[in-house]
Structure 1
Amino acid sequence: MNSQRYTISEMSETSNISKKALRFYDKLGLITPRLRGANNYRYYTHEDVLSVPPLKYYKQMGFRLEEIRAAFDADSNASLRALREMFTTKMEDLRQEEDVLRLRSASIHDWLELLHEAEMVLDNDLRQVSVKYVPPQNLLFHDEVFSLDIKSTIINMGFTNYVESLDNNIAGPVIVHFSSVEDRLKKVEQPIQVLQRPMRPCKPELMQTLGGVLMASCYHIGPYETISDTYRKLQRWCASNSYVHAPDAFERYVTDYWTTNNEALFVTEVLVRVRRPNDTFV
């Protein structure tokens, strides 16, 4: 049997645990010096040293110190059952934490992608019109009336409450579906849908498909008060390139009030469905 004894300084060096932490563990009864010297000085034993790896392993698994003490005290079948239940509970806690981390990671990833897109648009002054196939994506939608307050439409309390009522989360850019391009140009109220990607599955009737069709796209840079210029640019481009655009439009907010208060850094992608004169809209 190893009879070596350790002062708190020696125990700290051997275990790579600070003396402050060792004193705290002593107070909790996790690692307590077992020997007393002639001068009543307390010493750790080799058995105390061997308590350190299990302690660190339990901490690695995310157990609280009180839980670790209960694990160390297991000395019967009943204690083992309690220990198993503790591990089962911890597994469920970790699954929930994993879900939270997944949601956070996806949200941050989407935001980084939008920031990168905005940087590319701003650095290269991308304002030209192009036609592209937009892959279909299913988005959660919320019907509203656009009251000409674009900030309250983008940072939308009603939509936020709606998402929470569904016990869901959202990520990606805010997209607004305007039912009328002409009303958007005239700056009058109109029915709209606020769209965003849900993080958890939703009932089909709560979802709207954006894309799956050919669309004309143009980035608008700067304040929303001048976005009508981008719409008119799209209209002129469609007319001169033999395209007919749909009566509705989508605004996809790449950087907006969620990102910055500097309107010069606002980047908005305006999207309208297009077709050739002899075709029909899907």
Structure 2
Amino acid sequence: MTSSKNTPSSKNNDDMPGYTIGTFAMINKISARMLRHYDKIGLFKPQMVLPNGYRYYSSEQVPTISLIKKYQRCGFTLAEISTLLGASATTIKSLARKKQRQLVQQNIEQDQANELLSNLLGIGHTPLPSDNVIAVTQQPARQLLCGSNVCEDNVDAGFDDLYRALENAQVHPDSLPLLLCDPEAAVESYRVAVCAQQGTVLTTLISHSLPVGTYISTSHYGSYDGIGVAYDRLLQYAQHHQQKLVMPFIERYFLDRTYTTNTNDYITEISVKMTP
């Protein structure tokens, strides 16, 4: 991960060339290692590479990385995705039909992939669009019980461990599940958490406090593939209003895998504290 001095999310400097690879990876739920691999094979390159080797990405690139992730979940190879990114609508539908036939022939149980492929053909369930609303609210101080820091591949396992520890201690959380996301973290950017009553202490979990203050928030509807758009919305709002952000970002899950198997039904709120 990059250091805070190179992270646009905590700065409001119009001269910054874009998002560092660490920030871009975090808001799009993809590893920096994978972004470097995409750059190496020519699939998805940063908008700018400085002489010191630092990679920077732009807001305009968020929809493209979301599309790449969706194509991967459909079962397309990186070589096929490279073709899809520059293909016409007719070619995309042709390749989608071919991929559906391959899945049937191989008898692969990929219900989610088939649903995404149907969306590419224009016959599937359409995710709820984001309303693009930014809310500014005053939030009280909140005490959290947290698991250890995890990487993006281990978030679900982290939540399982967290709720197992709470159940063993007979502690009932006071909130929906939360994910703390910090692009400035040195190694692993994510920490699973729940709100707890003041004074609750468990030796197996980490206590953490969210400070009182002004928070901005927005909602994301649907799978996490396109969640980078919501993060970008918050970051652009803060920059436009010349506000600095206090890490971490906070994801709150109103509807997730616990309640539905259809990722298009997911509802996620993202918030972050602003400095006074």
What's the TM-score, normalizing by structure 2?
Answer: 0.46
Q: Which has the higher contact order (CA 8 A, sep 6+)?
A: 2
Which structure dedicates a bigger proportion of its chain to helix? 1
What's the TM-score, normalizing by structure 1?
Answer: 0.45
